[in-house]
Structure 1
Amino acid sequence: MISMGFVDVLLMKEVIKLVVGYYLKIVNLIIGLLFSRLGFYLLIMACIWTGVTTDTTIIIFAVATFKDLGHWISQSLPFTMGQLGEFVSAYQRIIKALEAEELDPEHHLEQPTNEPLIELKNASVRFKDQEILSNISFRITSGLTLITGIVGSGKTSLFKAILQDYPLSAGSLVTDGRIAFASQDPWLFPSSIKQNILFGEKFDEKRYNEVIRVCALLFDFNQLENGDETIVTDRGLNLSKGQQSRINLARAVYRDSEIYLLDDCLTALDAAVQDYIFTECIQTFLKEKICILISQTASHIEKADNVIIMDKGFIKDIGKPDEHIYQEVKKLVLKDDDLEKEVIDDEKEVNEKTKLTETEQFTSKKKVYSEIKKEGSIDFVVYKKYFMYGGGIVMVLLNFFLGGGTQFTSSYSDKLLSNWIDIKQNVLNIEANVTSNNSFINNLETAVEEETFIFRKYTIFLFVSVILELIKHYAMLDFTRRASINIHKAMIKKIMNGVMYFFDTHLIGNVLNRFSQDMANIDETLPFVIDDCYSVFFSVAGGTLLIISINLTFSIYVVFMCSLLILLRWYYIPSGRSLRRLEASTRSPMIGHLNATLEGLTTIRSCKVEHLLIQEFDKHQDLYTSAYLTSLSTMRGIGLFMSLITSSFLVIVLAKFMLFDSDITAGDVALALTQVFGVCGQMQWGIRQWAELENIMTSVERLLEYTDIKTENKQGLQLENWPCKGSITYEKVSLSYNDSDELVLKNLNFEVKPNEKIGIVGRTGAGKSSIISTIFRLYEVQGKILIDGIDIKTLEMQFLRKHIAIIPQDPIVFSGTIRTNLDVRNEFKDNELWEALEKVGMKNYISSLDQIVGSSSNTNFSSGQKQLICLARAILRKHKIVVMDEATANMDHETDVILHKIIKNNFSDATVLTIAHRLHAVLECDKVMVLDRGEIAEFDDPNTLLDNRDGMFYNMVRQAGLLNYLS
């Protein structure tokens, strides 16, 4: 879901951009009008005051010159300055990127070797003033090395130092051999599962089949509709967390390397799957390799060849898993009971491995969204909606009348200028032939009075036209500005309130493309295209009427020329519109690919496949730029042919004046020539802008799609003092993610009493997280969910979610400060915030509540520390219902135990639902729910479930070696 901070940034950016561009346009228009109309008027006045003769040649030359000056100053010069500013800004950003510090491309040998090696000597890593790794020294040449330690001890940082994502500030690093890396947070990119695993490697069927077997993916592929050809959405959201982790692991294991770095990639798996993969994959398949595994699991530590214990960025202890290491592990990492593991004979272990492939489950068969490129003309509904967002029919009519009034005063002033030229010419002729005859004197006086009257009238209409011109442009740009802002607001509102299925089926590249390029089109381009079309329509109409008023035969030429231009546009529009749609749709994959690449940069570098990602990006970019270039070229081509047509009209008018019309007045010639010059240029420009309008409206069409997103029904009741008890009842609850017949949850019926602590367990994809989605109403369900006897469907959505706390599986930390992350509504005092941080053990890691925190994907805290911040956030609010979705997955065992004590102390009077793969997290719960394929297989207190030796829960606990835990 898009965060409010993201929304605020988008909204502020669009508003600033619109307002600045809007007022700059007004300023440019004022300057243009001053140089064109008012500048010309002042020139004429200067000639009159100084006694300079203003004959027809001077008038024609002055009008043409000042119109050109007005165009260049009001449009071309500002546009050029804007382009220059964008160039300088882009150049500076590019230079900054090019001059950034780069990693050494030869940081480890990429050649096979029989003697792989990882050696660090007194290695340290420092970021700014903080040392995250200190004096690290070890040498590994073979076997399984396990790294463990408390949250924030530097385990992942050590891997990044080995990969040289973190350059050493001191010491040395030597690696010999090819390195494969599996990240703690699974990284998947939009493509097939098979391509995610191969990731640029050649397909070896035998190795591939073996890898998917040891990574426990066989059953998943058999159940998915398209097997390993199933398309993965952004970050693998159409797969379960366990499936994401195993595919992420399979990618690393498939690479034929000598060194494997596995960053706690078994955390999201239940105990049975963990044991299977640890035995079959890590201990067996990788037994001849250097394998370094980050893990907090007791059984893994026992079976390692070497153990490295990290604490606060340095190595606390290192050695084989002997009694000394066990004691250090007990002190720092594990709980005593975790070292008690029931011995399972070989026959039972084999049976469990056999059963594993029978019980592994999948979550969904959702297909990735493919952006649909519409065809045909833009529906009138699109224009109608755009006009409604701009202010409706009233604003449209206001702009129409302003345009008509402006053009009338402008054309009439031009006509008055033509009359004034004729009268002025008459005055000059009379003055040249004046005698003492009273009749000549009277004629001169009458002509002068008429000249003065016409000029004053011209002055009035000229100034009125300038004022109306400014008002017209102001009103039109304000209209388009309102439309842009309102569409943006509508999109944000729909996105923020959209149903979860929208986010399940839409790639991030498609969403970002709408909010970037399409929004930029209607912010920066569409207002001026509409303004040009609107202005040109009235200008051409007015100019054409003036030309026809001089000679009626010109109407034939005008009709013929307009018909040719419209016919040319008619032929161009289908291809131009389709090319714009193609341009927009080909931009989405480019953005999505870049976004996915940045998220998985460490994995990409470790696999040494940067060139493949660059090639893939180049393909996306080439496709986009080819569509853009084709669109641009066709527009320039249509402009060329339109210029030829309008130029021919100009030649016809000039030829008619020169060869045929001898009785036409000088004023009419001046008027005709100035109008023809203007009409010819504006007509072809107007037709081009009319075509461009249809093209740009494809962006409006795409944006309006996001204003019609199906939204959640947020209407409902708000109850006082609810929930006061915290009881939860499910009655015949079933869930389907995409309104299909595939049920993820099937007819669930259970009751949770107030203040009960419920553990929810099951194989990967059994439906555990789906239960959480139902209690928050992320998806509509069949049946009833009652909290304190109230059907949650009757409650207001915001009210419901506000009164249930969640500590999610993937911890979310927002960009901002510690304070804003804990208390976004500023409801708590500083001492309460510090108290919550102290309860979760994060106080010593935070210097100030105003300490800056990065985004959820790029932060200065480890995954475990981010989870603790989420826990502190939940503790502050003291809700009656708390949901923990794998909240301790990224914790070491000591922090895990402390965390459960914190939860027990702070949520003793709350109902707690805990989803966990680590079974000791639920053994002390009041009840445990075992899910299997979306159904409740078992639901009772832990002791009762453990008494049933044939039950699923008993077998899960036995596999985890925790049968003696409660005793």
Structure 2
Amino acid sequence: MTQVLKINPTLVENGKMINLITRDVSEFEDAIYNITNILRDLSNAVAACCVLYSEIGGITAVTGPIGSGKSLVLKVLTKEYKNVEGDLEVVGSISYVSQEPWLFPSTIKQNILFGSSYDENRYLEVLQVCALLEELRLLTDGDSSIVIDGGANLSKGQKARINLARAVYKERDIYLLDDCLASLDTIVADFVFEQCIKRFLKDKIVILATSSIKYVNRSDNVITLKNGTVQSKKVHSKAPRNAETKNGLTTIRTSRIQDTLRKEFDQHQDLYASSSYMYACCEKAYLLLIGADQIILLIFAIILFLALDDKMTAGKVGLVLSQIFSLTGAQLVFYCMMTRLENQMITVERVLEYTKQKQENKDGLVIEHWPKECEIRFKDVYLSYKSDQDHVLKHLNFSIKNKEKVAIVGSTGSGKTSLISTLIRLYDFEGNIFIDNVDIKTLPMDFLRSKISVIPQEPTIFSGTLRENIDPKGQHSDDDIWKAISTVNLSLFQNLDERIDMNLSICEKQLICVCRALIQRNKIVIFDECNASVDSDTEALIQKVISENFAECTVIAIMHKLRYILDFDLVLVVDKGVIIESGDPSSLLKKKNGMLSNLFKRQ
């Protein structure tokens, strides 16, 4: 039995419609051949087409170069975008994994269940096949740990696996996985691919968007997107664009919990409305009390006037009555103003709470023309995110020479990104870190960070123009910016004042971050897994930039993909916050049971 996913490609030639529909493997192969020939003949064709066929239990890999539309194809299948031309039919229910992990502020368990009923056996099996079971046991609160600020307290690999576990936990017919293995180290990625994608989902349709040749070769079907097959620029230009929450919306819709979230929103809205209504009722009740108070005073004054009838003149009576009205009016205004002031001061109190938070110490000595040699030395460095938690980095002692290219390797959650965070003082740490024999704790925070360029694992793009993204402070000329753009072959843009499309591919966002680092011309450059989610061509380009454009810099690169590991001078292998191997890559690869050797063999 088979299920068919069809996008009926519509090609326009002299106003005539040509429709191709596939229902089995042979027709699928014929359709690909025919479409390729038609597109080759139509030199002015502006249509894009894609034919998907998958057997139950089969894995279909969707691959292609940067910006080819891999993620877009999956979102089209979820009906997030209206297909530009032709018809779309999806037979079966869908579960979707976004390329950028989307987590919400709640427990890890609630992020995985996401509105589904709790089935203990399935839940534990999902944790196991997503390589989360053991890691969650190491956390103080286990799967009850709270996800903070979109997952700031988790590694990207952990966020990616929680994101995957959420989709896999749901019982669906079709699973759309958008490059979900890119953030994982080789051993974990292989485990998840074999145990989760191939075994646990063996009776399901799986469509995996990936740039990894290894997983493409291990898939049952392969769809390659490229110019002539899918013209991504045309699709991009016609598809609707929303902001960064798009991944979350797609996950919500494919999980079919819109009603649940709508009810939760209504509950919050009802709570707000009830408090507002209570405030309004109290205000009206207070007005009634003031009115009653005024009536009591008037009655008392009238009785007093009657008792003193011979001694009270009309003028005195009028004066007393007018003062009573003025007094109650002033009293009404006073109490209303005090009530509103008290209510609004709560907002001020909340803001003041932020001022009581521990501030970064930005004091220190600014050193001119620093750093010169860019030699880095870690001495007995320990790091713990909270004082009552175990150290995530332990007893780090190593040195990096000037202009040395250093690769930091290790499994997911081993402490690689934490190590980098100490270098730019994102967290307080024990021990000392020296750059050119200067303890970085003695330097002003802003000064230190301005001397180090960081290309983060999650590329940061600002809402604005290309110029504002590459040169936020406006310190560089147009020629410098265009030179950086040319270096990374980012031909997508024609104008520096062109506004950035927030739905660029991960590769395109990453290249913009590389451009940002290029024009800064800092002598210390950090690449934090920037090659994890990119295709092989972009990975090769980034490696070329490191070798040529950052040749005079000290470079530290966190790596999962080890294809270019021999291009580095020094490799540090990290496991559970400790450096377990260090040395030149050639020597480490010769160790039969070495961790780097094992990781390299699994690539």
TM-score normalized by structure 1? 0.56
Q: Provide the residue aligned with 2:69 in structure 1.
A: 154
What is the letter of the counterpart of residue 173 of structure 1?
Answer: L
More helix as a share of residues: 1
Deviations 1:456-498 (A, max 9, x none): xxxxxxxxxxxxxxxxxxxxxxxxxxxxxxxxxxxxxxxxxxx
Aligned-pair distance for 1:622? 2.1
1:793-808 → structure 2 map (5 Å cutoff)? 793-808=441-456
Q: Provide the residue aligned with 1:579 in structure 2.
A: none
What is the letter of the counterpart of residue 146 of structure 1?
Answer: A
Residue 906 in 1 paired to residue 549 in 2? yes
Are the aligned partners of 1:134 and 1:314 in contact in 2 as well (CA < 8 Å)? yes
Aligned residues: 558
Larger CA deviation: 196-205 vs 749-758: 196-205
What is the letter of the counterpart of residue 600 of structure 2?
Answer: V
Cα distance in 2 for partners of 1:277, 1:830 equals 45
SS in 1 for 2:504: coil
SS in 2 for 1:282: helix
Deviations 1:308-348 (A, max 9, x none): 111258449xxxxxxxxxxxxxxxxxxxxxxxxxxxxxxxx
SS in 1 for 2:556: strand
Cα distance in 2 for partners of 1:760, 1:830 equals 35
Q: Provide the residue aligned with 1:348 in structure 2.
A: none
1:783-932 → structure 2 map (5 Å cutoff)? 783-842=431-490, 844-854=491-501, 859-932=502-575
Residue 604 in 1 paired to residue 252 in 2? yes
Structure 1: tracts of 5 or more residues without a match: 1-113, 125-130, 317-594, 961-967
Q: Provide the residue aligned with 1:649 in structure 2.
A: 297
Larger CA deviation: 221-230 vs 749-758: 221-230
Q: 2:423 aligns with which of 761, 775, 778?
A: 775
What is the letter of the counterpart of residue 147 of structure 1?
Answer: V
SS in 1 for 2:285: helix
Q: Provide the residue aligned with 1:168 in structure 2.
A: 83
What is the letter of the counterpart of residue 463 of structure 2?
Answer: S
Deviations 1:373-395 (A, max 9, x none): xxxxxxxxxxxxxxxxxxxxxxx
Are the aligned partners of 2:383 and 2:393 in contact in 1 as well (CA < 8 Å)? yes
Residue 286 in 1 paired to residue 286 in 2? no
SS in 2 for 1:170: coil
What is the letter of the counterpart of residue 476 of structure 2?
Answer: F
Q: 2:53 aligns with which of 127, 136, 139?
A: 139
Aligned-pair distance for 1:138? 3.3
Q: Provide the residue aligned with 1:122 in structure 2.
A: 9
Are the aligned partners of 2:107 and 2:143 in contact in 1 as well (CA < 8 Å)? yes
Q: 2:264 aligns with which of 610, 616, 621?
A: 616
Q: Provide the residue aligned with 2:40 in structure 1.
A: none
Q: Provide the residue aligned with 1:749 in structure 2.
A: 397
SS in 1 for 2:95: strand
Are the aligned partners of 2:147 and 2:153 in contact in 1 as well (CA < 8 Å)? yes
Are the aligned partners of 2:4 and 2:53 in contact in 1 as well (CA < 8 Å)? yes
Cα distance in 1 for partners of 2:133, 2:325 equals 75
Q: 1:945 aligns with which of 573, 588, 592?
A: 588
Residue 304 in 1 paired to residue 219 in 2? yes
Aligned-pair distance for 1:811? 0.5
**Residue 838 and residue 658 in structure 1: after superposition, are their counterparts in 2 closer, same or farther (change >3 A)?**
farther
SS in 2 for 1:262: strand
Aligned-pair distance for 1:596? 11
Aligned-pair distance for 1:837? 0.7
Cα distance in 2 for partners of 1:599, 1:291 equals 19
What is the letter of the counterpart of residue 139 of structure 1?
Answer: Y
Aligned-pair distance for 1:658? 5.5
Cα distance in 1 for partners of 2:595, 2:46 equals 43
Cα distance in 1 for partners of 2:403, 2:431 equals 24
Cα distance in 1 for partners of 2:399, 2:107 equals 41
Cα distance in 1 for partners of 2:579, 2:337 equals 64
Larger CA deviation: 898-907 vs 751-760: 898-907
1:41-120 → structure 2 map (5 Å cutoff)? 115-120=2-7
SS in 2 for 1:120: strand
Aligned-pair distance for 1:877? 1.2
Are the aligned partners of 1:733 and 1:785 in contact in 2 as well (CA < 8 Å)? yes
What is the letter of the counterpart of residue 279 of structure 1?
Answer: E
Aligned-pair distance for 1:598? 6.7
Aligned-pair distance for 1:926? 0.3
Are the aligned partners of 1:123 and 1:136 in contact in 2 as well (CA < 8 Å)? no
Residue 218 in 1 paired to residue 133 in 2? yes
Deviations 1:752-792 (A, max 9, x none): 00000000011111110011110111111111110111111
Task: Give the superposed CA RMSD.
Answer: 2.2
Cα distance in 1 for partners of 2:47, 2:161 equals 29
What is the letter of the counterpart of residue 285 of structure 1?
Answer: F
SS in 1 for 2:48: strand
1:313-392 → structure 2 map (5 Å cutoff)? 314-315=229-230
Aligned-pair distance for 1:663? 4.3
1:449-598 → structure 2 map (5 Å cutoff)? none
Are the aligned partners of 1:803 and 1:879 in contact in 2 as well (CA < 8 Å)? yes
Are the aligned partners of 2:69 and 2:230 in contact in 1 as well (CA < 8 Å)? no
What is the letter of the counterpart of residue 304 of structure 1?
Answer: S
Are the aligned partners of 1:192 and 1:230 in contact in 2 as well (CA < 8 Å)? yes
Are the aligned partners of 2:456 and 2:527 in contact in 1 as well (CA < 8 Å)? yes
Q: Provide the residue aligned with 2:601 in structure 1.
A: 958
1:405-424 → structure 2 map (5 Å cutoff)? none
SS in 2 for 1:943: helix
Q: Provide the residue aligned with 2:345 in structure 1.
A: 697
Are the aligned partners of 2:527 and 2:556 in contact in 1 as well (CA < 8 Å)? yes
Q: Provide the residue aligned with 1:635 in structure 2.
A: 283
What is the letter of the counterpart of residue 909 of structure 1?
Answer: E
Deviations 1:176-231 (A, max 9, x none): 00111111111111222222222222222322222211111110122122322222
Cα distance in 2 for partners of 1:710, 1:958 equals 46
Cα distance in 1 for partners of 2:452, 2:223 equals 40
Are the aligned partners of 1:755 and 1:910 in contact in 2 as well (CA < 8 Å)? yes
Are the aligned partners of 1:729 and 1:786 in contact in 2 as well (CA < 8 Å)? yes
What is the letter of the counterpart of residue 136 of structure 1?
Answer: C
Cα distance in 2 for partners of 1:764, 1:848 equals 39
